[in-house]
């Protein structure tokens, strides 16, 4: 039996994006966990090279519902596994997560979706994503003025925000068509509207808005959570025009920052938003509603501020990550219990887990933007961090065409691993013309000695 911390491998789609933030919150606010956070592409590389490292963990938690497609069958032979159900656009792509020993849904909407799909509801738990309210906080007036100056937003402009990545916009689930229609109409009706878009892949969206005469500021990639939090300080309004969402996490971040939010009834919004009290809840596919409600609040700063303050209070009372992530203790206990039947004796003492965090109040913590790698040998930590940066840089190139942001990531990874050949290989593969790469490969293959024929 293990009487120490539960050794958990948390697998997001990237440590640089939302599921990575969720993983860091789970690790940060649960000191009884000894966490390792590594994305799907990274565990592909690490466990292919060092398969014995799988045995370093007491439990695997797949926050990314796609990485579990390959790795859930492999991990189930060794450790209890927790899977995630964020939302559905293609059921076949995520249906394998029903095989988790415990399944996490981010809201009641998606818990009910699992029920309708025949999931064993004794293994389904609602664990809202939550937000770090210490990181995402209301700005002081000087902080607000500073970030607006940095973004070159005029002092008198009304700023509407939208944060996300285009590769998550399957079947236009984020309602970008509604967003564009509403922004263009609002721009016709008011003086000095500005739109702040944060996230990769929105070149076409930004182009459409600018072509329509809308002032648009775009930040394709914000590396740290602290820097992301500053982006909300520039906003007067945050809009969620989505049709399908698991969170949405940016809504929680905006509410925590005391931004006046307007949202459709998606995901967690239908549970925490009281229309007109802590945000505005608007119908799906109704661009006019976003225009009318935003325009009416523009002339009533006191009401806008009241809604923002109420929004933050909701976060502090219900959705702070320190509150929501406590629920993973019950999730992990269930996974350990279910897995015991097929794995035999548990590798972790259930009684220790049930004791909760009090036993570990003196446990080590880590910086907000740090990624813990406790389950990997220290000698490979630098390589793992490099692999994370390179995986995200290739994602930026392949799915978002953010070559400049990707090149910066690759350069930083190379500087910290100067003798590795992986960063130059990524540069060669993704930045050099295809014909030159093909020529180099042919030359390289031609220089290899030919294999001798094997006897008869």
- Range in 113-122, 299-308, 438-447 the model is least confident about: 438-447
**Residue 116 scores a pLDDT above 60:** yes
The 10s digit of each residue's pLDDT in 227-236 is: 999 999 999 9
Asked if 194 and 158 touch (Cβ cutoff 8 Å), the reply is yes
Residue range 250-264: mean pLDDT, rounded:
98
**Does 155 share its domain with 175?**
yes
In a domain, 379, yes or no: no
In a domain, 375, yes or no: no
> Percent of the chain having pLDDT more than 90?
77
| pLDDT range class, residue 343, cuts 50, 70, 90 | confident
| pLDDT range class, residue 155, cuts 50, 70, 90 | confident
In a domain, 51, yes or no: yes
Distance CA 220, CA 241 (A): 20
The 10s digit of each residue's pLDDT in 344-399 is: 876 676 666 655 555 555 544 555 568 999 999 999 999 999 999 999 999 888 88
In a domain, 456, yes or no: no
Residue range 13-25: mean pLDDT, rounded:
93
In a domain, 385, yes or no: no
**Does 161 share its domain with 279?**
yes
**Does 295 share its domain with 353?**
no
**Does 338 share its domain with 352?**
yes
- The DSSP 8-state label assigned to residue 348 in this structure reads S
Structure tokens at 289: 């509603």
Average pLDDT, the chain: 90
CATH of residue 107: 3.40.50.2000
Q: How big is the CA angle at 282 (ends 277 and 288), to the nearest 5 degrees?
A: 125
Structure tokens at 229: 């939090």
**Does 184 share its domain with 253?**
yes
Contacts of 409 (CB under 8 A, 6+ apart): 223, 389, 390, 392, 393, 396
The pLDDT of residue 437 is: 45
Structure tokens at 416: 């910290």
**Does 230 share its domain with 261?**
yes
In a domain, 383, yes or no: no
Contacts of 252 (CB under 8 A, 6+ apart): 129, 130, 131, 136, 268, 315, 319
Contacts of 343 (CB under 8 A, 6+ apart): 78, 79, 80
Number of domains in the chain: 3
The pLDDT of residue 345 is: 72
- The DSSP 8-state label assigned to residue 21 in this structure reads H
The 10s digit of each residue's pLDDT in 157-200 is: 999 999 999 988 999 999 999 999 999 999 999 999 999 999 99
Cβ-in-10-Å burial (0-12, 13-18, 19+) of 422 comes to: middle
3-class SS of residue 15 = coil
User: Residue 7: which H helix or E strand, with range?
Assistant: strand 6-11
Residue 46's alpha-carbon distances to 41, 90, 284, in angstroms, are 9, 28, 43
**Residue 442 scores a pLDDT above 80:** no
The pLDDT of residue 456 is: 35
**Does 183 share its domain with 273?**
yes
Helix axes 403-416, 422-431, angle to 10 degrees: 160
Of 319, 341, 357, at which residue does a domain stop?
319
Domain hosting 327: range is 6-130+322-370
Beta-strand runs (E) in 18-173 = 33-37, 59-62, 81-85, 102-105, 124-126, 158-163
**Does 196 share its domain with 270?**
yes
In a domain, 331, yes or no: yes
Give this prediction's pTM. 0.88
**Does 228 share its domain with 268?**
yes
In a domain, 381, yes or no: no
**Does 312 share its domain with 412?**
no
**Does 26 share its domain with 165?**
no
**Does 115 share its domain with 179?**
no
């Amino acid at each position: 039996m293990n009487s120490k911390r539960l050794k958990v491998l948390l697998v997001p789609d990237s440590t640089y994006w939302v599921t990575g933030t969720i993983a860091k919150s789970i690790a940060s606010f649960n000191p009884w966990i000894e966490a390792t956070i590594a994305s799907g592409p990274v565990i592909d590389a690490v466990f292919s090279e060092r398969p014995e490292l799988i045995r370093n963990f007491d439990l695997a938690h797949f926050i990314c519902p796609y990485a579990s497609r390959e790795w859930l069958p492999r991990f189930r032979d060794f450790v209890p596994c927790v899977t995630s159900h964020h939302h559905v656009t293609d059921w076949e792509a995520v249906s394998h997560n029903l095989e988790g020993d415990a399944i996490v849904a981010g809201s009641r909407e998606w818990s009910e979706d699992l029920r309708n799909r025949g999931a064993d509801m004794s293994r389904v738990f609602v664990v809202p994503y939550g937000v770090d309210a210490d990181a995402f906080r209301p700005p002081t007036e000087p902080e607000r003025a500073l970030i607006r100056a940095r973004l070159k937003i005029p002092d008198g402009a009304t700023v509407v925000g939208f944060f996300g990545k285009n590769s998550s916009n399957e079947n236009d689930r984020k309602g970008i068509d509604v967003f564009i229609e509403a922004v263009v109409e609002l721009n016709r009706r008011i003086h000095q509207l500005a739109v702040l878009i944060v996230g990769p892949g929105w070149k076409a969206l930004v182009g459409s808005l600018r072509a329509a005469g809308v002032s648009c500021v775009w930040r394709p990639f914000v590396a740290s959570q602290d820097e992301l939090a500053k982006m909300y300080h520039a906003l007067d309004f945050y809009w969620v025009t989505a049709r399908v969402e698991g969170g949405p996490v940016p809504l929680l971040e905006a509410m925590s920052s005391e931004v006046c939010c307007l949202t459709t009834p998606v995901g967690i919004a239908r549970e925490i938003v009281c229309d007109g009290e802590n945000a505005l809840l608007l119908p799906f596919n109704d661009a006019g509603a976003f225009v009318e409600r935003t325009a009416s609040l523009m002339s009533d700063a006191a009401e806008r501020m009241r809604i923002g303050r109420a929004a933050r209070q909701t976060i502090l009372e219900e959705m702070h990550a320190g509150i929501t992530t406590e629920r993973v203790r019950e999730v992990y206990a269930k996974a350990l219990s279910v897995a015991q039947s097929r794995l035999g004796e548990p590798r972790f003492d259930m009684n220790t887990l049930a004791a909760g965090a009090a036993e570990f109040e003196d446990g080590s913590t880590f910086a907000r933007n740090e990624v813990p790698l406790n389950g990997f040998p220290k000698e490979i930590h630098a390589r793992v961090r490099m692999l994370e940066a390179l995986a995200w840089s290739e994602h930026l190139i392949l799915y978002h065409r953010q070559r400049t942001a990707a090149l910066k990531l690759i350069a930083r990874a190379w500087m910290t691993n100067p003798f590795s050949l992986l960063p130059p290989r990524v540069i060669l593969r993704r930045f050099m013309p295809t014909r030159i790469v093909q020529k180099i490969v042919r030359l390289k293959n031609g220089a290899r000695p030919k294999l001798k024929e094997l006897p008869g």
